[in-house]
Structures are given as structure tokens and as C-alpha cells.
Amino acid sequence: MKKIYKRIPTYTLCIILCLIIMYPIVFIVSCSFFGSRELADNFINLFYLIRKDFSLSGYQIILYSFRFQSGLIFSLIYAICITFLQYVFGISSGFVLAKFRFKFNEALYFAYLLCMIMPFSVIVLPQYMLFKSIGIYDSVFAIILPGGFGAMGVFFYRQFIKQIPNNILEAAQVDGASPFVLLKKILAPMLKDCTFAYMVICFCTNWNSIDPSIAFIRSVSIQPLSVALKEAFNNAPEVFFAPAVLYMVPPILVYFFFSEELIRGLSFNKSSTKGPSHEI
């Protein structure tokens, strides 16, 4: 009985935090079924959750909207392409920085870290001038290329690859395996759970990204859904909630289906293997 009483504060705190986190979602979902008149009258009331005028007009308007359809398609294109490129670039660069000894190895890794922590407001002007000069401004490549070759994947995979014992790779090298074979046949399968975790994080991060699209995309036809939602909220808040609910669906589905892989990947350690993990 005493143990139960000791757990009450913990459970109470967890319930309070859960309510704080879930309330904005409940509020948005509830408002998405309001009629336009009822929503306009109670837009400022954050505790007005009970519907009197149940309506699907917001969903009907947005589902048949070309802006929503094109925004959804390009949001998926950007998120999937950037996630794939970050995986390929991250695991290959992380492998080189973690397991090969060469001059300026640490300096190069430090440069990657600087790129990762540098705010977007600092690099937006140089990127704008670069994209203008090479002719990719206002195109999908202005979003995919800088996002796909970001430093986050390098940092992520380097930390995990350094934990893998080096004798595993040396045994494969004795059998004649090239660095590409080591990466494809040994490291990639061993880091499968880490890759799932990274892809979930990367997909959701790029799905919610909005600053690069505002800075480098002017054509409405290739803007992601996040930009369309921002403009909808600024111009017509009463039709904002239905697309916002639909916008939350893909990340929620990704987390739901890959939650176990996410936990296993983030808890990856070298305890399952034995041997030193020095550089080669």
C-alpha cells in the first residue's frame, strides 16, 4: 500500500503532462468539425470543444482543393527524398569518419558539427545567392539537395558506427571485402534498427520543415503543405483546422508503425558485440 501511495505523485504528474500535450490536438480535431459560423464566433475560446453545428465542410473544401493536393504530394516527395539522401550520405560519411584514420579527420567532423548547429537564418542568404547562380532557385532541388546532404546524418551514424567492434570489419577485410562491401553487407544490416529510428526522426523533421520552402520556393505548384497551412491560417483561420488535422496524420502513422524500431534504434549499444572499436 505504501508503494502505491509513493507512486501517486508520479502518476499525477504523468497525467497532467499528458493532458497538456494532448489538449492542443483535441482542440484542433474538435474545431475541424465546427461550422464556419460557429468557429468564427468561438475562435478565441480555447475551451469551447462541444460542437453544436457539426459540419464536414472544412474537409470537403480542403480535399477538393488543388493547393492541398499538390502540397500533400510535394510534402511527401520532399520528406521521402531528403530522408533517403540523408541516410545514404550519413551512413557513408559516418563510416569514413568513424573507422578510417586520415589527416584532418577530427577537423572535418568538427566542421560538420558547425554546419549542424548553425541556425537557418545565418545560411539563408548565402544559400539564396548560390541557388540563384546555379539556377535551382524556385525548384524542388532547392529543398532536396541542401536537406539531403545535411550534417545530422553524419553525426548520428558516426556515433553508432564507432561503437561497432573493429575486429568484425577486420575479419571481413581479410576475406577481401572492400569498404563498400563492409558498408553494404556488414554495417547496414547491423545498423538496421538505428536506421529505422533515424528515418522516423528525419521524415517527421522534414515533413514539418517550413523555413527553406518559404525562402527558396515561390511557385505555388511546388510548395509543401506546411506553407499552404501557414497561408490558410493567416488568411482564413476558420478553414485552417481541417487541413491541420490531415497534416498530422502521416507523422502519427509513421510513429505508430515504427515505434518499436525507434526505441530499439535509440537504445543501440555495443553490448551485443565484443571487441575493440578503434580506427582502421
What pTM does this model have?
A: 0.81
CA pseudo-torsion sign 136, 139, 143, 148: negative
Report the pLDDT averaged over residues 72-88. Answer: 92
81 has a pLDDT exceeding 50: yes
> Start-end ranges of CATH 1.10.3720.10 in the chain?
66-272
pLDDT band at 100 (very low <50, low <70, confident <90, very high): confident
Region of poorest pLDDT, from 22-26, 187-191, 217-221, 272-276: 272-276
Residue type, 32: S
CATH class of 66-272: mainly alpha
Report the distance separating Cα 97 and Cα 160, nearest Å: 11
User: Considering only CA atoms, which of 250, 245, 241, 280 is closest in space to residue 42?
Assistant: 241
Pure H helices in the chain: 2-31, 36-41, 57-63, 66-99, 105-117, 120-134, 141-148, 152-161, 166-174, 179-181, 188-190, 192-207, 211-216, 225-235, 241-257, 259-266
Q: For 109-155, how does the pLDDT look when each residue is reduced to its tens digit (9 = 90+)?
A: 888 888 888 888 888 888 999 999 998 898 999 999 988 888 888 88
Which residue carries 547496414 as its cell?
188
Q: Look up residue 21 and give its three cell numbers.
A: 500535450
Per-residue pLDDT, 201: 87
User: Considering only CA atoms, which of 245, 253, 249 is closest in space to residue 58?
Assistant: 245
